[in-house]
Structure 1
Amino acid sequence: MTDSASSPQLITWQTLGRAALQALLDEAGAPLHLEDCDLEGGDFSRLDLRGCHFTRCAIMEASFAGAALGDTHWISCRGRQADFKAADVTDSVFEKCDLNNTNWRRAKLGASSFTHCKLTGAHLEDAATLGLTFADTLLIGAFLQGMSFRKCLLQGLDFSDADLVGADFREAVFIGGSLRNANLQDCRFDGTDLREVDLGGLKLIDARPFRGATISSAQAAMLLHELGLTVLD
């Protein structure tokens, strides 16, 4: 039996449903490393998958609702419309994954990270996100109401058309990325550095949440242009 502190047991090129995956877990007695496996459409809700690794796996429309997914690693997985509702995904890593239109409502995402991922249309309402980080990730049209990005370094995040109502960006620093046409109602930007982010589509009348933020002269000119004013040097 594999010791739980050792590397996860490698399983490759298998199509796995709930029963088959549970049997592999029971046999190994330790986390698994699933590589190039097909879990599409499977029901894995409430399973204990802590410490497992998923590399280039197909998890489209699979359900991990209520599952124990702490300390998992997901690399280059295809997970369109997968369901992580109410799952415990604490301390997990997602890299280069397609997670468009996924459901993370009420999930525990503390200290997890998403890097080079696609989360277009993802739902993260009421998720526990303390210490959650994103980098170079698409969050276009995502539902992120009330999330805190306070004091975060936000690198290459595309929030275009996202629902950010009530989000906290105080003292955050944007490096590239976009807030184009995002819903910024009741957001807080006190002390935020917005000089490198795309603010296209923003109207000056909508700029009140940006009170206390730092913007560039080009961004200021763009906002004034919305009022029909021209800024001359």
Structure 2
Amino acid sequence: MEMDRDSLVEQLSAGVRHFVQCSFDEADLSRLDLQDCVFERCTFNETILYACKLARSSWQRCRGMSADFESADLVDAQFQGCDLNNSKWRRSKLASASFLSCKLTGASFEEVSHLGASFEESLLVGADMRGFSFRKATLNQLDFSDADLSGCDFREAVLEGCSLREAVLKLARLEGADLRGADIGGLDLADLRTFKGVVISHAQAAAILGEMGLLVA
């Protein structure tokens, strides 16, 4: 079912809060109150959700490629099995929001408030996550390949089945991070101080030394 802003407002006025297989593609839904709504197998491709109230909303197997969530309130929102590649989240409120089995390749999380936000089994390839804090978190099956993780805090975090391949880690904090379960190939090792206190495996250490032209006998 295709829905534009007017038809959505009409449904909301009638008390509808659960939407299944609806298409909101390219609609401007800015500033709508969609708190507690459930979206199941809906599409939001290139949809504008600027400053929407989306607290406690649930998104199940939705597609929102290039969707714009700028300045939206997504506190306690839940995303599961969603394709959100190249989505924009600038200045959104993501406190306690969760992303499970989501595709977030190329997503931009610029200046978001993210206290308690969680990601699991998700693709974050090439994502802009500058300044995110993952301190003391256990990260499972996250692909940060080519992501911009500048200024991120990974102190005492445990990465299990994750990839940091060719990620940007400028000014990131990694003290005490356990990277034994992470792919760290292709990282810029020019400033080894970034990796001070990091826990890695013997195989990873040998690979790093090999990239520096040293042979481990």
TM-score for both structures, normalised by structure 2: 0.98
Question: What secondary structure does 1:134 align onto?
Answer: strand
User: Partners of 2:23 and 2:31 in 1: how far apart?
Assistant: 19
Q: What is the match of residue 151 of structure 2?
A: 166
3-state SS of 1:231 partner: coil
Partner secondary structure for residue 197 of structure 1? strand
In structure 2, list runs of 5 or more residues that go unmatched: none
Q: Distance in 2 between matches of 1:205 and 1:221?
A: 16
Counterpart of 1:88 in 2: which secondary structure? Answer: coil
The corresponding residue for 1:82 is: 67
Which residue matches 1:216? 201
Deviation at 1:204, TM superposition (A): 3.4
Q: Is the 8 A contact 1:203 1:223 kept in 2?
A: no
How far residue 207 of structure 1 moved from its aligned partner, in angstroms, is: 3.2
Superposition RMSD on alpha carbons, in Å?
Answer: 0.9
Distance 1:95 1:207 in 2: 37
Choose which of 54, 60, 64 in structure 2 pairs with 1:69: 54
1:229/1:162 Cα in 2 relative to 1: closer, same or farther (>3 Å)?
same
Moved >3 Å (runs of 4+): none
**Residue aligning to 1:106:** 91
The answer on 1:92 being equivalent to 2:77 is yes
User: Residue 122 of structure 2 aligns with which residue?
Assistant: 137
TM-score, normalised relative to structure 1:
0.91
Partner of 2:13: 26
Q: How many residues end up aligned between the 2 structures?
A: 217
Which residue of 2 is the match for residue 5 of structure 1? none
CA distance in 1, matches of 2:162, 2:145: 9
> Which amino acid in structure 1 is aligned with residue 6 of structure 2?
A
Match of 1:127 in 2: 112
The aligned runs of 1:140-219 (5 Å cut-off) are: 140-219=125-204
Q: Structure 1 CA distance, aligned partners of 2:206 and 2:140?
A: 24
Percent sequence identity is: 49
Give the equivalent residue in structure 1 for 2:42: 57
CA distance in 2, matches of 1:223, 1:208: 14
Distance 2:191 2:167 in 1: 11
Can you list the C-alpha shifts for 1:39-66, whole angstroms capped at 9, x where unaligned?
1111111000000000100110001110
Q: Extract unaligned runs of 5+ from structure 1.
A: 1-13
- Taking the aligned partners of 1:207 and 1:219, their CA distance within structure 2 comes to 14
Partners of 1:206 and 1:16 in 2: CA distance = 52
In the alignment, the residues of structure 1 paired with residue 214 and residue 177 of structure 2 have an alpha-carbon distance, to the nearest angstrom, of 25
SS at match of 2:13: helix
Rg comparison, structure with higher value:
1
Q: Indicate conservation of the 8 Å contact 2:151/2:171, yes or no.
A: yes
The one-letter code matched in structure 2 to 1:134 is: F
- 1:160-190 CA-to-partner distances (Å, cap 9, x unmatched) read 0001110000110000110010110000011
Aligned residue for 1:16? 3
Query: Judging changes above 3 Å, is the alpha-carbon distance between structure 1 residues 128 and 203 closer, same or farther for their aligned structure 2 residues?
Result: closer
Corresponding position: 1:227 with 2:209: no
Aligned counterpart for 2:27 among listed residues 24, 31, 42 = 42
CA distance in structure 1 between the aligned counterparts of 2:163 and 2:114, rounded to whole angstroms: 21
